[in-house]
Amino acid sequence: MLISDLLRLLADETRLRVLHLLEHEPLTVAELQEVLELGQSSISGHLAKLKGAGLIHDLPEGSARRYRLREDHDGMLRTAWQSMRDLSLDEPRFAADRKRLEDIQATRGSSWVDRVAGSLHREYAPGRTWESLCHGLLHFASFGRCVDIGAGDGAMVELIAPRATTLLCVDPSPAMVAAGRSRVQALHPGAVEYLQAPGEKLPLADHCADSVLFLQSLQYIADPAAALAEAARILAPGGRLLVLTLVSHGFPEADAFGHRHHGFAAADLKRWSRTLDQPHAYTLPPEGRSPRFQTLIFTATRAGRAAARGRP
């Protein structure tokens, strides 16, 4: 979008009123109509223009759709909206709109909890984030003898090591291994070692690991089929494989991150891990940030009874 088009979009008072309200909280067309006292066709027209520009998005909620501000604006779009927001924040008209919204909700006795019933999974609440959820659930995890393939500089060491008997971080990059060893020395996380080696040819004994992880690393490996075969080889009976990677895509943006592969299909991961049991794959919703990559989660298990997994 040209800057002149963007400025014309944000110069409209009604669209600014809509944006200020949506910054306060997500709303439906009917709710915006009631606050702004405008017709449905007028509100829908303004919402369509804001959505087309990438400033807002919407999700279904029963027979209606709830609109909200996007958090992944491009640089120019973000700068333009933030500048216009800051310039207009103290305008009496926008404060009056927010007050009217609060009055309408108070009259109806509608609390935030009541309003998000049925859509809580899409709403933000303080502290209720995926990051906090993952940190909490990890306290129930036990990785046993864990091998993290493509571990990079050890960004996940602090999370995994306390829940593993031993943690071996494997990466083919000398720079990443050096950085990872420095991180381990600084953190003192427990029984953690680093090994420089390719994922396709691990200098490890058969059945030596209780868990093998590929945490967004498979797309960097030259031969992913060979890497998954190696992972299956080193898994002990009862051992578990976890792959977090990207769904097959055509986004050239991935090239800037050094990806060798533009994601994978679940069928390929199952085929490459065919010596393992209980394969299961599912995808997460697309990311909010453009170009909206999707994560694919794949798990499988080595048949047999698991050995007792000690904790440090």
Encode pLDDT of 95-120 as tens digits: 898 888 888 777 665 566 666 666 66
Q: What is the mean pLDDT of residues 72-81?
A: 76
pLDDT at 309 over 50: no
**What's the confidence (pLDDT) of residue 207?**
97
pLDDT at 310 over 60: no
Supply 45's token pair. Answer: 């027209």
Name the architecture of domain 130-301: 3-Layer(aba) Sandwich (3.40)
The pair phi, psi for residue 151, each rounded to 5°, is -70, -15
**Per-residue pLDDT band at 84 (split at 50, 70, 90):** confident
Encode pLDDT of 118-149 as tens digits: 666 666 677 777 778 787 888 888 999 999 99
Encode pLDDT of 26-68 as tens digits: 888 988 998 998 999 999 999 999 998 888 888 887 678 889 8
Own/partner contacts of 92-99, CB < 8 Å, gap of 24 or more, are 93/13, 93/17, 94/16, 94/17, 94/20, 97/17, 97/20, 97/21, 97/35, 97/36, 98/20, 98/21, 98/24
DSSP of 129-183, one letter per residue? SHHHHHHHHHTT---EEEEEET-TTTTTHHHHGGGEEEEEEEES-HHHHHHHHHH
Closest CA to 208 of 233, 234, 241: 234
Q: Reduce the DSSP state of residue 227 to 3 states and report it.
A: helix
In CATH terms, the fold of domain 3-122 is: Arc Repressor Mutant, subunit A (1.10.10)
Nearest-angstrom CA–CA distance, 170 and 218: 12
**Residue 279: CA count within 13 A, CB half-sphere:** 14
**What's the confidence (pLDDT) of residue 312?**
31
For the question of whether the overall pTM of this predicted structure is more than 0.85, the answer is no
pLDDT at 154 over 60: yes
Q: Return the domain boundaries, the chain.
A: 3-122, 130-301
Residues facing 195 on adjacent strands: 170
Encode pLDDT of 186-214 as tens digits: 876 678 999 999 999 999 999 999 999 99
